[in-house]
Amino acid sequence: MSAAVSAGTAAGLRRTLVPLALAQFICSFAGSNMNVMINDISRDLDTTVQGVQVAITLFLLVMAALMIPGGKLTDRLGRKRCFTMGLAIYGVGAILSAVAPSLGVLILGNSILEGVGTALLIPPVYILTTMMFTDIKERARAFGVISGMGGIGAATGPLLGGLITSAITWRAAFVFQALVIAVIIWLSRNVRDPVPADPTRPFDIVGAVLSAVGLIVLVMGILAADNSLLLSLVLLVAGGAILFGFFAWVRARERAHKEPLLSTSLFRNRVSNLALVTQNVQWLILMGTSIVVSAYLQVVRHYNAIQTGVIFTAATLGILVSSLAVGRLVRRFAQRSLILAGFIVTLAGIALLLALVKHSPSPWAFSPGLLLIGLGVGTMLTPSVNVVQSAFPEQQQGEISGLSRSVSNLGSSLGTAIGSTILITGLTQPISAYAFAMIALGVVGLGGVAATIMLPREKKGPSTAPEMA
């Protein structure tokens, strides 16, 4: 073990892993639990289904847009401090959301404050794990726990959210989040930062603004498609132009020998680039499926929150089973093989959701497809994260963690935006809109398969991600 963990024991490391994994769980939970509350929130706050879906997408988008700056701030402020600050901001947002009298206040609490809090606390989760677990196999198992908890959080969000909403009120779901945050803060009191903070480390404010604004405008362009195709096109072009300007700014700072927000060297690693694509696609499919199925069940079939949540038990079970098994699987199979198998199983799940649901009015027709999607996503989450994080040295963990989480959360926001936009736009023909949305997610999944096939085979076994570079 390194000096950072020499004083600790294996049991101590496992205790440290608990609050980190719980943090990933609650943030993923928050990204999907509102999907089953769409009708309840819209009635209570006197707003529309589209308004609630905008709040859901904005939460995911704020996370994605600020994750890179959040990862970079860990070097300047310290990983533990960013983690604690993020938890505190998230907790305030959860409480504000619980008492929100209007959609605007809900957006402030959930979309903005919880989004900002998540962007601050999630990069330290992956940086601390990478630094503390120096053995590649142990690190893979640790990432398995964290990624698995993230997947379980996303999958159980509809179920727990439905149970809480039906038994109490949708507001209690945010109280639940605040309570979990309080538990995490208490459990993390003994977490130590392996590397001291460097207050002199420069922070690229212009780069942070350009990257955040570019991502937000890009996804807002997708959301605008159900109102105006022209506005959607304008926003998509503007978002692309801003992101181009961001990369031009980064290159200019590097040529001037100044530290940018994001080093372009991160994009010169072919293995990492391909694995980042698989991360983006995994979360896009998981969250896209969640919003499409949830909205279809509530808006078209008029199911309540608990009925919708129970249907997602199949996805929860699938992710739980595969996440528990992945720790053993990474010791027996190459990470590339696990990612590829995960995509194949996930695509089979999408095919079942198309085939069975179209021809059956039974709500249980969703179960086989959701189960396969859960099994597939749970199988590939951990190897994708491990390949990316292990491809870079310790001094670049802040940057790559921010980029990795940004790419994953961008996938979540894109999946939610694409799925909800297609479904809401075509509600006059709900079956066709549902089928089109699922087909779109399947096509994106094929892109993930292509990226995985291009990953080189590991040279020394399943747990040697650095050897792939």
User: Cβ(290)–Cβ(154) under 8 Å?
Assistant: yes
Q: Which residues of 2-17 are buried (b: 16+ CB within 10 A; e: fewer)?
A: eebbeebeeeebeebb
CA distance 354 to 11: 46
356 and 324 co-located in one domain: yes
CA distance 136 to 467: 11
- Specify the pTM: 0.78
Tokens 């078209």: give the residue: 300
CA distance 412 to 421: 14
Task: Take residue 166 and report the two structure tokens written for it.
Answer: 């039906």
162 and 229 co-located in one domain: no
Reduced to 3 states (helix: H, G, I; strand: E, B; else coil), residue 463 is coil
Domains identified in the chain, total number? 2
pLDDT of amino acid 350 = 95
221 and 320 co-located in one domain: no
Q: Which residues of 428-440 are buried (b: 16+ CB within 10 A; e: fewer)?
A: eeeeebbbbbbeb
pLDDT of amino acid 2 = 41
pLDDT of amino acid 28 = 86
pLDDT of amino acid 425 = 65
pLDDT of amino acid 182 = 96
User: Cβ(288)–Cβ(131) under 8 Å?
Assistant: no
Does a structural domain hold residue 4? no
User: Cβ(157)–Cβ(416) under 8 Å?
Assistant: no
Does a structural domain hold residue 211? yes
pLDDT of amino acid 117 = 95
231 and 306 co-located in one domain: no
pLDDT in tens, 14-58: 778 899 999 999 998 987 888 788 888 999 999 988 788 888 888
User: Which residues fall within 8 angstroms of residue 195, CB to CB, at 6 or more apart?
Assistant: 4, 79, 131, 394
Does a structural domain hold residue 5? no
360 and 382 co-located in one domain: yes
CA nearest 272: which of 376, 396, 148, 379? 396
Task: Take residue 136 and report the two structure tokens written for it.
Answer: 């590649």
CA atoms 328, 329, 334, 336: torsion sign: negative
Domain boundary among 260, 283, 299: 260
324 and 396 co-located in one domain: yes
pLDDT of amino acid 96 = 97
CA distance 370 to 348: 10
Phi, psi for 350 (deg, rounded to 5): -60, -40
Does a structural domain hold residue 90? yes
288 and 228 co-located in one domain: no
71 and 99 co-located in one domain: yes
173 and 62 co-located in one domain: yes
CA nearest 382: which of 325, 432, 443, 445? 325
Does a structural domain hold residue 396? yes
pLDDT in tens, 205-246: 999 999 889 988 988 887 777 677 788 889 999 999 999 999
CA distance 442 to 255: 41
pLDDT of amino acid 467 = 35
Domain boundary among 237, 260, 283: 260
CA atoms 81, 83, 89, 95: torsion sign: negative
Q: Which domain holds residue 272?
A: 10-192+261-468
Does a structural domain hold residue 232? yes
Reduced to 3 states (helix: H, G, I; strand: E, B; else coil), residue 101 is coil
CATH number for the domain that contains residue 103: 1.20.1250.20
Does a structural domain hold residue 1? no
Does a structural domain hold residue 274? yes
pLDDT of amino acid 468 = 36
CA distance 317 to 335: 22
164 and 297 co-located in one domain: yes
| H helical segments located in 33-135 | 38-44, 49-77, 79-98, 103-106, 115-132
With a cut of 50, list the residues of the chain below it in pLDDT. Answer: 1-8, 460-469
244 and 272 co-located in one domain: no
CA distance 144 to 141: 5
User: Which residues fall within 8 angstroms of residue 210, CB to CB, at 6 or more apart?
Assistant: 242, 243, 245, 246, 249
133 and 35 co-located in one domain: yes
Number of neighbouring beta carbons within 10 Å of residue 276? 25
Number of neighbouring beta carbons within 10 Å of residue 427? 15
